[in-house]
Amino acid sequence: MNKQALLDQIAADIVKNNVCPDLAKQATQLVFGDGNPDADLLFIGEAPGKREDEQGLPFVGASGKFLAEMLESIHLSRSQVYITNIVKYRPPKNRDPSPSEKQEFLPYLIRQIDVIKPKLIITLGRHSGMQFLPDILISRDHGQPTKISIVVPGNEVGDERTSRVRGDDEKRTEPYDMYGEGASESATKQSAVKHGSRTGLASQEAVMTLVILPLYHPAAALYNGGQRQTLLDDFALIPTILEKIRNDK
C-alpha cells in the first residue's frame, strides 16, 4: 500500500472506531490532514476551527493564512509539507480540546507519523507541544528542537492500548544539537525495533525517535505583534535544523 492509502486507512479507522463520538456528532466532518505524505516536515496544530470544519482541511482559516505566509518565508508551500492536528474534529465553539479527547486521538496521530516518517515535527501551540513534551513551557522552550522517543507496538502501529510517549522511568527527551557536529541520528530513520524484556519494552514494541520543534500557535501571533516576530524568527530556524538532520548519519 502506498502512503496515501495507509493514511486513508487511518482516517477510515477513526470513523469506524467511533473516536470521540460527542465531537463527531456536532462536527461537519473529520479533518484528518493535508499535504505531501512524503514530506520531511510535519506540522501539528491543536484542533480544527470553523473554516477547517467546513472545508475538511486543517489550517485554512486566519491561522492557516499566516502559516502559509510563514512557509513562504522559508520558500515552502503547503503542498511540500504535511499539516494535521492532534484532535481531528472541531470542538464546539472552538473550545480547547480536553485531555481525554487528545488522548483518544493520540494512537491515530502516532500511526500518521509512522506512515509519513517526517524528519522534523513542528508542533504549533501549547496543546500540540505538550503531547510530545509534557513539561513544555512554550514561552521558554519555543524554537528549541528536542529529540524524543515514542513507544509504538510492532505489529499494529499506534494500537490504542500501548502507544505512548515513553514513561518517566525511561529516558524520554534530550535537546537536539542543531549546530553540533555530533552524531545525532535523524528522526524516524533510526526507528529501532527492540524486542524482549531487557529493553524495558514489551515484545513487539518499537521505539520511534523524533525531533520535535515546539513553536507558538499562529493564532497567538494574530493577537500579539511580538509573538508574530518570534514565530517568524523561529520559522527561520527550520531549514538549518532540517539540513542538520538530513546530514546526520
Of 10-18, 46-54, 153-161, 180-188: span binding ligand URA (CB under 6 A): 46-54
Query: Least distance in Å: CB of 126 to ligand URA?
Result: 11
Query: Least distance in Å: CB of 77 to ligand URA?
Result: 17
CA atoms of 137 and 160, how far apart (whole Å): 27
Residue pointed to by grid coordinates 509504538: 152
Query: Least distance in Å: CB of 218 to ligand URA?
Result: 7
Q: Does 91 bind ligand URA (CB under 6 A)?
A: no
- Report the residue number whose CB is nearest to ligand URA: 45
Going 86 to 90 to 96 to 98, the CA torsion angle's sign is: negative
Query: Least distance in Å: CB of 59 to ligand URA?
Result: 4
Of 52-60, 136-144, 170-178, 241-249: span binding ligand URA (CB under 6 A): 52-60
Cβ proximity to ligand URA: between 31 and 178 the closer is 31
Q: Does 46 bind ligand URA (CB under 6 A)?
A: yes
CA atoms of 150 and 116, how far apart (whole Å): 15
CB atoms within 10 A of CB 243: 12
Return the SS3 of 85: strand
Instruction: Determine contact, residues 48/89, Cβ cutoff 8 Å.
Output: yes
Instruction: Determine contact, residues 108/156, Cβ cutoff 8 Å.
Output: no
The residues binding ligand URA (CB under 6 A) are 45-49, 52, 58-59, 61, 63, 85
